[in-house]
Amino acid sequence: MHNKLLKKIAGIFGYKLVDKNYIKNNRIIESNTFLTIDKILNSLFIEKKINCLIQIGANDGLRFDILNKYIKRYKVKSILVEPIKKSFNDLVKNFESYENVIFENVAISVNNQISHLYKINPKKEGEYYGEHFKGIMSFDKKHLLKHGVKKNDIVKEEVVSTSITSLIKKYNLDFLDLIFIDAEGYDADIVEDFFKNSLKRPVIIFEYLHVSNKKFEHLITVFNENKYLFFSLNENIVCFPDEKQNYIKFN
């Protein structure tokens, strides 16, 4: 009875309570599954299918960063995008000796609609346990609240934004093999904008967990219209152009 009432109250304020068993079981699967994002990336880099990539939401280049070791080992052209100044400075430091890396201290958005991001007050970070709290930032304050961040511990940082296609044009990329996105809920907007304004057909990997159902449903239609094959893995969607389906290897 109490659980039902709590869920109704949460619903009124726009939140949805997720069953703890679902979350725990999902994490068990992620840590023990045969197929992983890492295994897919390893295959793509070994076979030299990735020679140029854009990583959106690169954070500090270390925390939960699965691309770090591949960028450093294979020296592929990499454009790393991070809007938050402190994280960006750490990112530059962590890749400072790698000439194959380009850094962009911007937010990727549609029509420059993102002018600021919310984050945990650096002075309050020590009060939150878990590395993931340090990487939480979003254009939507509710995103932090639903992760358990206290309202008074949230601060706003002004950011400069650009579009994904403007970034591609800026560096005159003749080819693009991978777009890797972790934009805390804005992922679908970036991907849809890319399809609207670019003819390039890279592999695309992005986190879908925080994307609204309405946007996600529409994005699946966009993938189908653009002849992309896709599957979910570790709370991400892995997407391959139909003509590159031979890249998909599970061994």
Render pLDDT for 45-61 as a digit per residue (tens, 0 to 9): 999 999 999 999 999 88
Q: Mean pLDDT lowest for which of 25-29, 98-102, 189-193, 240-244?
A: 25-29
The band of 5, judged by pLDDT with boundaries at 50, 70 and 90, is: very low
pLDDT at 70 over 70: yes
Q: Which residue ranges form the domains of the chain, and what is each CATH number?
A: 28-101+177-247 (3.40.50.150)
CA distance 42 to 121: 36
pLDDT at 17 over 70: no
Render pLDDT for 130-175 as a digit per residue (tens, 0 to 9): 656 666 777 777 777 877 888 888 888 889 999 999 999 999 999 9
Q: Give the pLDDT confidence score for residue 176 in this predicted structure.
A: 98
Q: Give the pLDDT confidence score for residue 56 in this predicted structure.
A: 96
Q: Give the pLDDT confidence score for residue 10 in this predicted structure.
A: 46
The band of 22, judged by pLDDT with boundaries at 50, 70 and 90, is: low
Read off the DSSP letter of residue 247.
G
Render pLDDT for 200-222 as a digit per residue (tens, 0 to 9): 999 999 988 888 899 999 999 99
CA distance 50 to 46: 9
Q: Give the pLDDT confidence score for residue 133 in this predicted structure.
A: 62
Indicate the average pLDDT of the chain: 85
pLDDT at 6 over 50: no
The distance from CA 114 to its chain's CA centroid, rounded to whole angstroms, is: 16
When pLDDT is averaged across residues 86-101 and rounded to a whole number, the result is 94
pLDDT cut 70: percent of the chain above it? 85
The distance from CA 149 to its chain's CA centroid, rounded to whole angstroms, is: 20
Q: Give the pLDDT confidence score for residue 14 in this predicted structure.
A: 45
Strand (E) positions, 74-225? 77-81, 101-104, 107-108, 116-120, 137-138, 154-158, 161-162, 178-181, 203-207
Distances (CA, A) of 125 to 54, 94, 130, 132, 183: 28, 21, 10, 11, 20
Residues making up the chain, counted from first to last = 251
